[in-house]
């Protein structure tokens, strides 16, 4: 999985959406303590930076050294390059001792994981009772009807180049086993819906598309998804000058639960 993003790590950090404050406030309100959080698959650290403003310490791990190189450094974040699979010994040594983590999060990466193995690790490191696991994804961007129509045609054309794991994102994280208890104040584990938005010009919007794993896979097969014709369609749909900005919105779908005793 890490190899899918190593060639576009810079594009990823520049154009991938950040996450809204209300998402982190909701999650943090469900953990009794705010000592230690683990951001798994941190990428370039977008979520870790937000966690660092709430939790005393954050450990942020990823299998991609290329993405970690672009992560924002803060004194209470420890970034750790880890292999895609990690042993119990490595978990205790490189991440955290057993039963010491208040919160584990996975932002836009959970669909790549071996879920049963990951759940075992989560149950080992989380505090009991009431340590929390929160995983979320964002789906396709929304701009306006004209831009979205061009995007959806392109997205359909990109389908053969996405890994099968992408289906979980398209399904808004609804279709997998999530063996945790509802957090306080809820009667289910989600998905709960949030939204992230940012102002982008067309160049940034197209760079976001180039950060896709599917775009990289297509290029390796000699296919340019953003052909001149497609780019021209986007220019016409964007409406004003290419340098003008539009608000780009991504729906976010959160699954959240807690461990028992």
Answer positive or negative: Cα dihedral of 177, 182, 183, 188: positive
Q: Characterise 172 by phi-psi region: left (phi > 0), alpha (psi -120 to 50), beta (else).
A: left
- The beta-strand segments (E) located in 41-175 are 57-62, 77-81, 103-107, 132-138
Q: Which of 93-107, 146-160, 161-175, 240-254 has the least mean pLDDT?
A: 240-254
| pLDDT at residue 3 tops 50 | no
Q: What is the pLDDT of residue 244?
A: 86
Q: Report the range of poorest mean pLDDT among 80-94, 157-171, 219-233.
A: 80-94
Per-residue pLDDT for 51 more than 80? yes
Contact 84, 132 (CB under 8 A): no
pLDDT by residue (tens digit) across 236-259? Answer: 999 866 568 999 999 999 999 999
Average pLDDT over residues 150-172: 96
> What integer is the mean pLDDT of 174-180?
95
pLDDT on residue 132: 98
Q: What confidence score (pLDDT) does residue 5 get?
A: 46
Q: Across the strands, what pairs with 59?
A: 38, 78
**How many C-alpha atoms does 198 have within 13 Å on its Cβ side?**
15
Q: What is the pTM assigned to this prediction?
A: 0.90
Regarding the domain delimited by 2-140+164-196+252-258, which CATH topology (the fold level of the hierarchy) does it fall under? Rossmann fold (3.40.50)
**Does the pLDDT at position 41 exceed 60?**
yes
What are the residue ranges spanned by the domains of the chain?
A: 2-140+164-196+252-258
Q: What's the pLDDT band for 16 if we cut at 50, 70, 90?
A: low
Q: What average pLDDT does range 25-33 have in this prediction?
A: 97
pLDDT value for 14 = 54
* Rounded mean pLDDT, 15-32: 90
> Alpha-carbon distance 144 to 238, whole Å?
9
Is residue 60 predicted with pLDDT exceeding 70? Answer: yes
């Amino acid at each position: 999985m890490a190899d899918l993003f190593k060639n576009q790590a810079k594009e990823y950090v520049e154009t991938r959406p950040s996450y809204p404050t209300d998402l982190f406030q909701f999650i943090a309100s469900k953990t009794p303590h705010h000592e230690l959080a683990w951001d798994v698959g941190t990428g370039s650290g977008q979520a870790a930076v937000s966690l660092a403003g709430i939790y005393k310490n954050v450990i942020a791990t990823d299998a991609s050294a290329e993405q970690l190189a672009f992560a924002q450094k803060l004194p209470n974040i420890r970034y750790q390059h880890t292999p895609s699979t990690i042993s119990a010994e490595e978990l205790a040594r490189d991440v955290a001792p057993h039963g010491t983590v208040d919160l584990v999060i996975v932002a836009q990466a959970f669909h790549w994981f071996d879920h049963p193995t990951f759940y075992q690790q989560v149950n080992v490191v989380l505090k009991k009772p009431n340590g929390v696991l929160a995983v979320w994804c964002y789906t396709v961007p929304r701009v306006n009807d004209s831009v979205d129509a061009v995007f959806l045609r392109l997205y359909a054309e990109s389908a053969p180049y996405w890994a099968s794991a992408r289906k979980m994102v398209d399904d808004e994280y609804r279709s997998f086993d999530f063996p945790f208890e509802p957090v306080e104040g809820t009667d289910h584990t989600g998905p709960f819906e949030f939204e992230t938005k940012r102002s982008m010009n067309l160049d940034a919007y197209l760079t976001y598309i180039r950060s896709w794993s599917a775009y990289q896979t297509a290029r390796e097969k000699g296919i340019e998804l953003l052909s001149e014709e497609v780019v021209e369609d986007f220019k016409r749909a964007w409406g004003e000058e290419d340098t003008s900005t539009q608000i780009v919105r991504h729906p976010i779908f959160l699954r959240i639960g807690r461990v028992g005793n």
